[in-house]
C-alpha cells in the first residue's frame, strides 16, 4: 500500500520475494506498507516511505512585484546527480538542497545547466505530469522525488 491505496503483489519466481508496481501518476508522499494475511489476520509492516519535494514559487516583476502573467516555467533534471544530504556533504555530482543550507540562507550553488535535461514526464515521477507551466497569478510548482532539479522562466517583454 502507498497511503490508503493497495497495489497487488505477485511472486517474482524467487523464494519469499514479491513485487508490486505503482504507476508513476499515482505516486504520492506517504508510507509504504505491506499487508499480509496470515491465518485470517491482516498484519501490516511499514517498509519505507516516499517523499516528494515541491519546487514552488511565484514569478513576479522585480520592480512592481506584481505577478508576471503567462510566464512559462520549464522544469529540468540533472541526470545522475543527487541532492546534498547536509552542510558537510561534499560528494561529487551533488547539488544544494534544503538539507544542505540553513533556513533563510540564500542559494549559492548555481545549477549545472549544461547537464540538465528537459523532464520526460512519461519516464519520471512528476506531479503534475507536465514539464512546463504558465499561470496568470505567476505561481508554479511540482512534486518530485529527491534529485537535482532547476527551472527556467520565459515571459514576453522580459529578458
Strand partners, 117: 77
Q: Beta 82-83 vs 94-95: how paired, if at all? A: parallel
Q: Are residues 33 and 99 in the same domain?
A: no
With a cut of 90, say whether residue 49 has pLDDT above it.
Answer: no
Q: Summarize the confidence of residues 133-148 as an average pLDDT.
A: 84
Nearest to 2 by CA among 39, 40, 29, 41: 29
Listed residue (76, 72, 62) closest to 136, CA to CA: 72
Place 24 in a pLDDT band, splitting at 50, 70 and 90: low
Domain interval for residue 18: 10-50
Model confidence at 139, pLDDT cuts 50, 70, 90, reads: confident
Count of structural domains within the chain: 2
Q: Are residues 113 and 128 in the same domain?
A: yes
| Domain identity same for 75 and 96 | yes
Return all residues near 127 (Cβ < 8 A) that are at least 6 apart: 25, 27, 28, 52, 142, 143, 144
Is residue 159, in this structure, part of any structural domain at all? Answer: no
Band of the pLDDT at 30, cuts 50, 70, 90? confident
The pTM is what?
0.68
Amino acid at each position: 500500500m502507498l497511503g490508503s491505496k493497495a497495489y497487488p503483489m505477485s511472486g517474482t519466481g524467487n523464494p519469499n520475494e514479491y513485487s508490486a508496481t505503482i504507476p508513476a501518476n499515482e505516486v504520492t508522499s506517504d508510507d509504504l506498507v505491506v499487508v499480509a494475511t496470515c491465518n485470517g489476520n491482516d498484519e501490516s509492516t511499514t517498509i519505507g516511505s516516499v517523499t516528494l519535494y515541491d519546487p514552488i514559487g511565484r514569478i513576479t516583476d522585480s520592480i512592481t512585484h506584481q505577478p508576471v502573467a503567462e510566464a512559462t516555467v520549464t522544469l529540468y533534471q540533472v541526470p545522475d546527480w543527487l541532492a546534498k544530504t547536509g552542510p558537510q556533504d561534499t560528494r561529487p555530482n551533488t547539488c544544494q538542497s534544503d538539507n544542505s543550507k540553513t533556513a533563510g540562507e540564500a542559494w549559492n550553488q548555481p545549477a549545472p545547466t549544461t547537464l540538465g535535461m528537459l523532464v520526460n514526464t512519461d519516464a519520471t515521477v512528476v506531479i503534475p505530469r507536465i514539464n512546463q507551466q504558465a499561470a496568470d497569478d505567476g505561481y508554479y510548482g511540482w512534486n518530485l522525488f529527491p534529485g537535482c532539479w532547476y527551472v527556467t522562466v520565459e515571459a514576453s517583454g522580459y529578458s
